[in-house]
Every structure is written in structure tokens, then in C-alpha cells.
Amino acid sequence: LTFPQLPPDQLLAWLADELTDGVTIGQAATAEQNLRRIANALADNAREGRHALVVIDEAQILEETNAWETLRLLLNFTDGESPLLTLLLVGQPSLLSALARQSELAERLGMTCLVRPFSRDETAAYVHRRLKSAGAKRTIFADRAFDTLFELTGGIPRRINRLGDLCLLVGFAEELPRIESPHVEAVCEELIALSQQ
């Protein structure tokens, strides 16, 4: 779920639709009907040896929608011993303090983790991995460009993605053989100038 600003009843309806491969029973489905659909889908998964993973991005927003209790109750679905779904909440650091205020949910979570920004070497490894996954066959960023990319983004993956993507776009448009440190700086300055307009 990438847009968690749903009230609890809509959250249940969305989850029921997703777990049943988009099969809906109409706009007027009640919370009870959606819970039954979720329970049946989770039971089917367990019989087929599958396990549901519910990922909620920007989960710190859930505090505004009072959906915490709904999520906590979803963790009640078990096969008697093991949960039938895994709940992964991803968000900004404020998510940790929001969870601290939801002690009943927090105590059901297996772990909480604050992902720190990448180091310079982790930034380079991250970009290399992303480029390799995209099919890159050659070195695209010069070593010094990684230093600059790290310094300008603070090692924060979303910032790395944004600046790196723009560097690739400019590099392609200008037919650069390799992206060097000055290119990263220039793209970042342009990015900042655009965001201030």
C-alpha cells in the first residue's frame, strides 16, 4: 500500500481486494464481509503453502487515519500457531515514535529497525547494484562522482535515486561517456534551483 491515507473500513476493503486478486463484491461491502474475504484468502494461502506479506509505505501517515487498531487486529489471523500474514511498516523516522504510542501494536511486531543513511561505499554499491539490475554493462559513474553523490544526498536512498536518475538523464541527453563529479554537482544545482522556483 503506497497511499495509506485510508480510513480503517477502506483499508480493509483495499486489503480484501488485493488478497483476492482484485475480485470485488461491490462498493457496499461491509467491514464484516471484507474481514471474511481476508480470512478466507489467508486460509487459502496457508493451504497452498503461501504466506501473505502486507507492506505499507509511508506508514507514519497511519496515525492520522486511526488505522492502527485495524492493523493490530489483522495480526490475529493465525493458523493456530503461526500468523497468516506478515506486516511490514515502512516510513519516516517519525514512525518509531508513532508506534511507541501504539504499545499494543508495537508489542506484536517482531522487530523495528531504523535504517541509517548509507556510507560513501554503500552509496556506490547501491548505485552499482541498481545499474546492474537495469542492465548496465559498463561503468557509468566515475569514482569521484560517487563521492559527490554521497556528499550531496547524505547517503539517503531516495535522494540518491532522484539525483542519480537525473544525472543519468542528463548524461544520456548530452551523450556523456561517463558521469563525472562536476556533472553530479551541476545536476544537483539545477535540481535545487528548480525546487526553489
DSSP string, 159-171: HHHHHHHHHHHHH
pLDDT at 24 over 70: no
Give the CA distances from residue 22 to residues 18, 26, 37, 71, 153, in Å, rounded to whole numbers and listed in that order. 5, 11, 11, 20, 38
**DSSP tag of 84:** S
pLDDT at 4 over 90: no
Candidate from 59-73, 87-101, 137-151 with smallest mean pLDDT: 59-73
Q: Is 161 exposed, middle or buried (CB count within 10 Å of its CB: 0-12, 13-18, 19+)?
A: middle
CA distance 15 to 45: 14
Cell triple for residue 54? 502486507
Virtual torsion, Cα 60, 66, 70, 71, nearest 10 deg: 10
Query: What's the pLDDT score for residue 66?
Result: 78
